[in-house]
């Protein structure tokens, strides 16, 4: 468990490495990693009502409506395991979501947020997303160098196989970048204006980035 409350938001464009870094940071701080993308993908895989509502938006690379995602985040953040903090990955990504998150933090009497903005150039983002592989079983994030679609998960403790996310097609990637620029990039100014934002370069070796992210989170 962390020595103090760490209420962290990982911000950044699709493919910036939010998931890669959020997993590492949450393990190191001993707080939950909360990815709205993972929660939605699980709902789609289980064919729940939420999954059926979200699937079309996700496959097209569009954002799922605010009211659905805000309800998910509210319920998750109110759970006991978030008492010492959390690492949010993929939420908020619109101004209404950021406002809702601010309300939740106030209602729960939590410490202020720290927003870590991972910066990566667009050509690198497209390269990363086109070559991403994900494990169907453990959700591990890999690249085409680790294995092809259908190959076993590189994690020796996992029996899963690698797949390509349905939103990692060229059309969906282009739409996700458009959605990011129009709806999520304004959050940089939103949080910077509130003195809550720190920029970290998302380029370089994942271990080096993890070190920089941890240093910012524990400063
Ligand atoms: P979500 O799952 O959140 O996707 P995203 O934001 O598009 O982000 P990604 O998961 O694609 O990328 P990432 O930044 O986590 O990068 P990663 O670590 O995987 O959302 C998916 C969809 O769900 C949305 O489009 C929307 O429809 C819906 N949704 C989710 N949240 C929502 C919300 N709040 N509101 C509305 N709708 C919502 O890394 C990418 C690749 O790069 C990997 O292959 C990785 O191995 C590699 N990589 C990582 N770091 C490095 C590095 N340093 N060097 C080289 N390669 C690297």
Classify residue 104: in a domain, yes or no. Answer: yes
Q: Give yes or no: 18 in active site.
A: yes
Q: What does the pLDDT read at residue 29?
A: 97
Q: Kindly indicate the confidence band of residue 86, based on its pLDDT and cuts at 50, 70 and 90.
A: very high
- Mean pLDDT estimate for the chain: 96
Residue 140, ligand 1, Cβ within 6 A: no
Residues 123-133: tens digit of each pLDDT: 999 999 999 99
Classify residue 50: in a domain, yes or no. Answer: yes
Residue 16, ligand 1, Cβ within 6 A: yes
Q: Kindly indicate the confidence band of residue 2, based on its pLDDT and cuts at 50, 70 and 90.
A: low
Q: What does the pLDDT read at residue 83?
A: 93
Q: Give yes or no: 55 in active site.
A: no
Average pLDDT over residues 145-172: 96
Average pLDDT over residues 66-81: 96
Please report the atom of ligand 1 found closest to the CA of residue 134.
Answer: 44
Average pLDDT over residues 164-182: 95
Classify residue 125: in a domain, yes or no. Answer: no
Residue 1: pLDDT above 80?
no
- Percent of all residues in the chain with a pLDDT value above 70, rounded to a whole number: 99
Classify residue 188: in a domain, yes or no. Answer: yes
| Domain of 36, in residue numbers | 6-120+184-217
Show the CA angle centred on residue 110, arms to residues 108 and 115, nearest 5°: 125
Residues 3-18: tens digit of each pLDDT: 789 999 999 999 999 9
Residue 97, ligand 1, Cβ within 6 A: yes
Classify residue 136: in a domain, yes or no. Answer: no
Classify residue 163: in a domain, yes or no. Answer: no
Average pLDDT over residues 99-113: 96
Residue 179: pLDDT above 60?
yes
CATH number of the domain to which 43 belongs:
3.40.50.300
Q: Give yes or no: 176 in active site.
A: yes
Classify residue 169: in a domain, yes or no. Answer: no
Classify residue 10: in a domain, yes or no. Answer: yes
- Quick one: which of 155, 156, 130 has its CA closest to 143? 130
Q: Give yes or no: 165 in active site.
A: yes
Residue 19, ligand 1, Cβ within 6 A: yes
Q: What does the pLDDT read at residue 4?
A: 87
Residue 43, ligand 1, Cβ within 6 A: no
Per annotation, catalytic residue among 24, 128, 132, 133: 132
Number of domains comprising the chain: 1
């Amino acid at each position: 468990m962390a020595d103090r409350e760490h209420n962290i938001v990982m911000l950044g464009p699709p493919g910036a490495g939010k998931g890669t870094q959020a997993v590492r940071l949450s393990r190191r701080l001993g707080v939950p990693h909360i990815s709205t993308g993972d929660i939605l993908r699980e709902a789609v895989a289980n064919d729940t009502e939420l999954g059926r509502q979200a699937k079309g938006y996700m496959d097209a690379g569009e954002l799922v409506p605010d009211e659905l995602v805000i309800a998910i985040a509210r319920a998750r953040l109110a759970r006991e395991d978030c008492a010492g903090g959390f690492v949010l990955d993929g939420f908020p990504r619109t101004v209404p979501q950021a406002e809702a998150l601010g309300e939740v933090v106030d209602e729960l009497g939590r410490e202020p947020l720290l927003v870590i903005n991972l910066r990566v150039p667009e050509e690198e983002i497209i390269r990363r997303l086109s070559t991403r592989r994900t494990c169907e079983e453990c959700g591990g994030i890999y690249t085409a160098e680790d294995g092809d679609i259908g190959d076993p998960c590189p994690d020796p403790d996992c029996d899963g196989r690698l797949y390509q996310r349905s939103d990692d097609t060229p059309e969906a990637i282009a739409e996700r970048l458009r959605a990011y620029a129009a709806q999520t990039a304004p959050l940089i100014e939103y949080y910077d204006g509130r003195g809550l934002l720190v920029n970290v370069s998302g380029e370089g070796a994942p271990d080096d980035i993890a070190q920089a992210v941890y240093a910012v989170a524990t400063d």
